Structures are given as structure tokens and as C-alpha cells.
Amino acid sequence: MTQLTLRRRVALWLAGAFLLAGGAAHAQQKLLLDQSEIVFVSKQMGVPVEGRFKKFDAQVAFDPAKPATSKVAFSVDTGSATLGVRETDAELPKAVWFNVPRFAQATFQSSAIKAVGAGKYEVVGKLAIKGATQDVTVPVTLTQNGATTVAAGSFVIKRLAFKIGENEWADTSMVADDVQVKFKLALAGVPKF
């Protein structure tokens, strides 16, 4: 066996071991959809309007004892956005809003997680919506009840930075630029803290 072949085999073995270890961590931690929610609140002509996403998923590998080595990846089906009014909901998938045919998912990928207090963390990462990507810092509070861990928090995005509400809808006197995103994610398999 040549030196190059041996190196390749070792590299492949290490890559496989890493993937299996990573896969095991992901398999142990699972999003409990029926206990989770993502809500967004915008102001239309000064009046708060609440909507939600009905379809989303998360891949979590979180260790409260080692937050710096933890990872979170999130995807949201933009076509599942609802404000609870049929006529308005029919507009959200269109090009000026979420442009669902072209951008079916919004994603978040963490790049750093740090503890900032008892059960409190800051998750830094990239949020991508409608072809635009922004760095965001998301404050998260974790609570545990039995085998379930709930990650909850909120943060504000600028909708125009993501081209949500283009053309005549870019007028912030009609729909405010600030949109608050609130989440409650129930997870199984997070180690006790």
C-alpha cells in the first residue's frame, strides 16, 4: 500500500467517523414541531399585525456545557406564511413579498453560540431570506421541563434589507421596516444544564 493510498484511507475513515459522530448528535436532538412556533409582528399603518410560519425545521447540535462547539441550522418554508386572512395570505407568496416560486425557503445558520447568563445565550449567524443574507445576533433563553428543552426569544429584522415588500410596499408609512420575529422551539435530547 502506498503512502498516498494510506493517507486517503485514513482521511476517509476520519471523515466517516466525524459524519457519524455529527449524525448521532443530530439524531439525538429533535425539534418538536407540535410544541414550537415562529411568529412575526409588523406594523401596518401603525397597527401591529401578527403572522406566523406553519412549516419550519431545525437541525440542532447543542451542548449547554460547550456552547462554543454547538451548531444550529434552521429553515422556514416561506410559502407557509400566514396572517390569517385569505386575501392577504394569497399575496404573501408573490414576487413583491416572499417570491416563493424563486425563494421557497429562508434559512439561518449559526456561526457562534455563547453563554451570557443562567440559561441565556447569544446565537450569531447568517439569516438568508429572498436571496439576501444578513448577519444577526439572536438572544435565546433555554428552559427545561423533563425531557423537553424550550428555546425562546425574539429579534428584529429590517424587511427592506431582504426585499420583503417591494415597489409600492417599500413605503414604510404603510408597512413599517422593522419586523419582530418571535420563536418558541421545543427540543428533545438536549443535555441537562
Q: Is residue 140 part of a domain?
A: yes
Q: Which of 161, 115, 154 is nearest to 135 (CA)?
A: 161
Q: How far apart are CA 23 and CA 146, in angstroms?
A: 24
Q: Is residue 1 part of a domain?
A: no
Which residue is it, cell 429553515? 75
Beta bridge partners of 148: 145, 188
Kindly give the parts of the chain with pLDDT less than 50: 2-27
What is the DSSP code (8-state) at residue 97?
T
Q: Is residue 10 part of a domain?
A: no
Q: Is residue 39 part of a domain?
A: yes
CATH number at residue 95: 2.40.128.110
How many domains in the chain?
1
Q: Is residue 77 part of a domain?
A: yes
**pLDDT-above-70 percentage for the chain:** 85
Give this prediction's pTM: 0.82
* Distance of alpha carbon 119 from the chain centroid: 19
Model pLDDT, residue 76: 98
Range of the domain at 183: 30-188
What cell was used for 132?
Answer: 439576501
Q: Is residue 57 part of a domain?
A: yes
Model pLDDT, residue 8: 41
Q: Is residue 8 part of a domain?
A: no
